Amino acid sequence: MQILENEISIDELTAIAEAGFGEMVKAVVDVDLGIVAIDAELHSDLEALCLANKSIQESLWGINYYPEMEEDDDFIEYDSMINIRPAQGNRSRGVDDESIRQK
């Protein structure tokens, strides 16, 4: 697991995917701090890492990267159990708010 504060290359992301799930990398994005935690079996592990490093729960959203699809809309999949937050108006595993997805 690691927190990225700068961009990494598609080749680096592909290598991380191949070492883990094969074609996918789980990630948690802090939309307020502008950081991404990657490379864990569970989004909740990445969420815990972010929370231990100054993030707040309301800013964290789980996604999956598919490096092979970098030119496709399916490069980022908004799907994680940590996204289910009725109190924030998000009742699905996706990220329902378009402005949050854009961040």
Q: What is the DSSP letter of 74?
A: G
- The domain spans of the chain are 2-102
Each residue's pLDDT tens digit, 48-61: 999 999 999 999 99
Q: What is the spatial distance between Cα 46 and Cα 89, in angstroms, rounded to a whole number?
A: 22
pLDDT in tens, 2-42: 999 889 999 999 999 999 989 999 999 999 999 999 999 99
**Ramachandran bin of 49, using left for φ above 0, alpha for ψ from -120 to 50, beta for the remaining angles:** alpha
**Secondary structure in 3-state letters for 14-72:** HHHHHHCCCCCEEEEEECCCCEEEECCCCHHHHHHHHHCCCCCHHHEEEEEECHHHCCC
pLDDT value for 16? 96
